[in-house]
Amino acid sequence: MNISVAIADKDRDYTDRLREVLQQYNDLSIYVYTNAENLEDAIVKKRFDVVLFDADLCDRRIAFTEAKLPICLYHDDCSNLGMYLDTAKISKYQRISNIYKEIVRLFADKAGISFGLDQSQNTKIIAVYSPLGGCGKTTIGLSIAAKAANLGKQALFLNAEQLSSTNQVNPFVEEGLTALLEAMEDRNVNFELKVKGLAKQGLQGMYYIEGFTKYVDYFAVKKEDMISFLETIKKLGAYNVIVVDLSSAMDNIVSATMEVADSIVIVDKPGEVEIQKMEYFADQSVVIDYGKKMYRVCNFAENNIGFSQKLEAPCVGFVHNYGNLPITNMVQVINTNNEVAVDGLF
């Protein structure tokens, strides 16, 4: 989808800098105006999707009748902001990459849901799960996403645990999964643009969307909603690899993700209790249903320490016990040492 954007500001240096950066995004077409009369004439003729304007462009209210979404560039010295109290706003003096995301996000809520060709063949969904607590599941999930990014793939990491546990490496800025699941139910929202607006670049080049911060949001998700969400984001084809870090329970979100996933990575851990629990897991119907796409990663591996052998899934990784090493460093070391063979996963 291509969004036509008119930038209107008296400051030519500012508009040139804004245009130079924004036109690097292939989903935007940029036009620049430095006076209100030329802008209004162009709005009628071109019917822009977005008009990004400084409120002080002129001392009267500009007519945006033919534009889908006017957005006011506000700043501390703005004199005419009061004329546009009912208009969407973006802070003028900030990183232009953030301005881009705000444009896309605001337009997504205005444009209506729209899907082009099914690009799902370009995307692999990898679910990362374990019935064991404290097994390093999230670390393995981050390692897989980071490795994919390092191999030049567009990798998206989704923390779909009951409460997100990756804020220290992929900082929390806003509601992510909750906002996208809500957007799925709103036909007035362009889902593709919503995803672009919410996705952020995180650890080692991966993209991420923030996970759940409230139990009530997590447990409100129905299985069919999660299936629809994952299938829709896969059809976009914007990412080659989507890694979904799951909770250890077997609930709607876990069940839905396993159903849709192309591969399921089961993270194992040594220990007497862990072996017995993994053997119980191997007898569950979920293994019968999805066992053919399951792979195993043995974490905290040491010499002469055993793992359960009952789960008949190919082992794609033995990861050493790195003790209290910070998770960012751990992910880097795991990938530097090639301790998880990701090639077969995607």
3-state secondary structure the chain: CCEEEEEECCCHHHHHHHHHHHCCCCCEEEEEECCHHHHHHHHHHHCCCEEEEEHHHCCCCCCCCCCCEEEEEECCCCCCHHHHCCCEEEECCCCHHHHHHHHHHHHHHHHCCCCCCCCHHHCEEEEEECCCCCCCHHHHHHHHHHHHHHCCCCEEEEEECCCCCCCCCCCCCCCCHHHHHHHHCCCCCCHHHHHHHHCEECHHHCEEECCCCCHHHHHCCCHHHHHHHHHHHHHHCCCCEEEEEECCCCCHHHHHHHHHCCEEEEEECCCHHHHHHHHHHHCCHHHHHHHHHEEEEEEEECCCCCCCCCCCCCEEEEEECCCCCCHHHHHHHHHHCCCECCHHHC
Least confident of 1-5, 197-201, 250-254, 333-337: 1-5
Residue-level pLDDT at 130: 97
- CA–CA gap between residue 226 and residue 204 (Å, rounded): 27
In the structure encoding, which two tokens stand for residue 57, read together? 């462009």
Q: Are the beta carbons of 264 and 294 closer than 8 angstroms?
A: yes
Mean per-residue pLDDT over the chain, rounded? 92
Residue-level pLDDT at 190: 85
Q: Are the beta carbons of 156 and 275 closer than 8 angstroms?
A: no
Residue-level pLDDT at 244: 98
pLDDT band at 116 (very low <50, low <70, confident <90, very high): low
CATH 3.40.50.300, the chain: domain bounds: 120-345
pLDDT band at 299 (very low <50, low <70, confident <90, very high): very high
Give the model confidence (pLDDT) of 6-51 as tens digits: 999 999 999 999 999 999 988 899 999 999 999 999 999 999 999 9
Give the model confidence (pLDDT) of 118-155 as tens digits: 777 889 999 999 999 899 999 999 999 999 999 999 99
Q: Looking at the domain 120-345, which fold is it?
A: Rossmann fold (3.40.50)
Q: How far is residue 203 from each of residues 6, 78, 128, 144, 156, measured CA to CA in Å? A: 34, 37, 17, 12, 11
CATH 3.40.50.10850, the chain: domain bounds: 3-111
Q: Looking at the domain 3-111, which fold is it?
A: Rossmann fold (3.40.50)
Higher local confidence (pLDDT), 108 or 268? 268
Average pLDDT over residues 335-346: 88
Q: What angle do CA 167, 124, 208 make, to 5 degrees?
A: 20
Q: How far is residue 264 from each of residues 206, 259, 341, measured CA to CA in Å? A: 19, 10, 14
